[in-house]
DNA sequence: TAAATATAGTTTCTTTTGAAATTACTGTTG
DNA sequence: CAACAGTAATTTCAAAAGAAACTATATTTA
């Protein structure tokens, strides 16, 4: 796979050396995070796009519903870290594909209980090992200890904010 | 700051126990990456949105142009990890704000040389320490060694793909 | 050097995304 | 129990982002 050109390939020619303006984007943690995120999410997207032409939100919703036998849309919102509008659209498009069934929620008439159809579950089961494979591929250069450490540190950042 | 509800707050009720469908989203590395990324980028966005009502792409372009005295749009694309359309729009809106100046590129008539205006440089200088502060805040819970390790591991993932 | 091809940057069009308004129902209170 | 406030989900509207087409200039090649 071709690597993107790196920051260092282009000279930076600082305007001045005052402490305030001496800012180096490639060393800026949020920038590194964005590059890192893009790289990971693109690798995953290749799988569900190539295999089924799915949208990111479709995969995310299916990944959650495939695990369980019943969630409400609100639970999907919590679990997916997606907006409720996005979840609503994910449900609509997965239903349209015939991968999702819903029944009414006796406990709350405003809500409903969602579950994958047999077809949807099949798609999920087909994708899971592929997703595991990409995960391995992404983390391929890291040792088990490094993987655990990376996960731990990411969690620490999230929990701290 | 309020933490989002966590996956574990909602029972997962596995449908079956077959190896193939036994998939746990919160343990899925790309999912963790997304949650991590969102958390970091939202913290940064709060600064430039609150201070100047800037768009993400405006901040990214200014962050690069503020560092240097001259880049072409194409160099901005490489450095920012943004699409060329996005960069084009960033240039347009920063120019409209009066934060960016451009002159023709003698080496290539299709291109031009961009630099921040005095005003743009002032905004940049004002934002830099704030950005450094958020960076510290985000990484506040981590030791220096942990920060270095996190950066190293993220870079390793990016370089490996 | 004229035609063909490639590249830098912008514009247009479409898709994706989220905020705000809306609908339908639930729970609470006078 | 009727009015009111609150909540789940959807729809509508507006903003953000990318793909493809387009313009203008540069480079290649016949």
Minimum-distance nucleotide, CA of A56 to C1':
C16
Work out the number of other CB atoms within 10 angstroms of the CB of residue B113. 18
pLDDT level of residue B6 (50, 70, 90 thresholds): very low
Tokens of A83: 């907006």
Q: What is the pLDDT of residue B10?
A: 52
Q: What is the pLDDT of residue B3?
A: 35
**Contact between residue B73 and residue B84 where contact means Cβ atoms under 8 Å apart:** yes
Considering only CB atoms, B30 lies closest to which of A12, A135, A142, namely: A135
| Closest chain A residue to B120, measured at CA | A21
Average pLDDT over residues A83-96: 95
Tokens of B154: 């993220």
Kindly report, residue by residue over A138-150, the tens digit of the pLDDT. 999 999 999 999 9
Instruction: For A71, list phi and psi in degrees, rounded to 5.
Output: -140, 150
- Short-list A129, A74, A64, CA closest to B14: A64
Check if A77 contacts B (Cβ < 8 Å).
Answer: no
pLDDT level of residue A1 (50, 70, 90 thresholds): very low
Mutant choice from B17, B24, B29 vs A, greatest count of A C-beta within 10 A: B29
Kindly report, residue by residue over B72-126, the tens digit of the pLDDT. 999 999 999 899 999 999 999 999 999 999 999 999 999 999 999 999 999 999 9
> By percentage, how much of chain B surpasses pLDDT 70?
87
Q: Which residues of B touch A111 (CB under 8 A)?
A: none
Nucleotides of C under 7 A from a protein CB: 7-12, 16-20, 24-27
**Contact between residue A146 and residue B153 where contact means Cβ atoms under 8 Å apart:** yes
> By percentage, how much of chain A surpasses pLDDT 70?
87
For residue A92, pLDDT beyond 90 = yes
Chains A and B: how many Cβ contacts under 8 Å?
Answer: 216
Give the H or E element holding residue B112: strand B112-116
Q: What is the pLDDT of residue A2?
A: 32
Q: What is the pLDDT of residue A136?
A: 94
Give the side-chain half-sphere CA count within 13 A for B138: 27
> What pTM did the predictor assign?
0.88
Q: What is the pLDDT of residue B69?
A: 75
Sequence-distant (≥ 6) Cβ neighbours of residue B36 within 8 angstroms: A33, A37, A154, A155, A157, A158
Burial B16-34 (b: 16+ CB within 10 A, else e): eeeeebebebeebbbbbbb
> By percentage, how much of chain B surpasses pLDDT 90?
75
Query: Distance (Å) from CA A106 to C1' C24?
Result: 15
Q: What is the pLDDT of residue A81?
A: 86
Kindly report, residue by residue over A15-49, the tens digit of the pLDDT. 444 445 578 888 999 999 999 998 999 999 999 99
Query: Distance (Å) from CA B10 to C1' D10?
Result: 23
Kindly report, residue by residue over B38-54, the tens digit of the pLDDT. 899 989 999 999 999 99
Q: What is the pLDDT of residue A8?
A: 39
In DSSP terms, A112 is beta-bridged to: A104
Check if B38 contacts A (Cβ < 8 Å).
Answer: yes
């Amino acid at each position: 796979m071709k690597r993107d050109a790196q920051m260092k390939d282009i000279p930076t020619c600082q305007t001045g050396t005052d402490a305030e303006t001496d800012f180096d984007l490639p060393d800026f943690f949020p920038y590194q995070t964005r590059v890192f995120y893009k790289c990971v999410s693109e690798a995953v997207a290749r799988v569900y796009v190539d295999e089924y032409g799915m949208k990111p939100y479709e995969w995310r919703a299916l990944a959650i519903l495939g695990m369980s036998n019943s969630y409400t849309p609100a639970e999907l919102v919590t679990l997916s870290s997606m907006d409720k509008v996005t979840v609503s659209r994910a449900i609509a498009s997965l239903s349209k594909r015939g991968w999702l069934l819903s029944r009414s929620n006796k406990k709350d008439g405003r809500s409903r209980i969602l579950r994958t159809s047999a077809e949807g579950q099949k798609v999920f089961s087909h994708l899971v090992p592929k997703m595991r494979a990409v995960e391995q591929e992404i983390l391929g250069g890291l040792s088990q200890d490094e993987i655990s450490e990376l996960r731990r540190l990411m969690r620490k950042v999230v929990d701290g904010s």
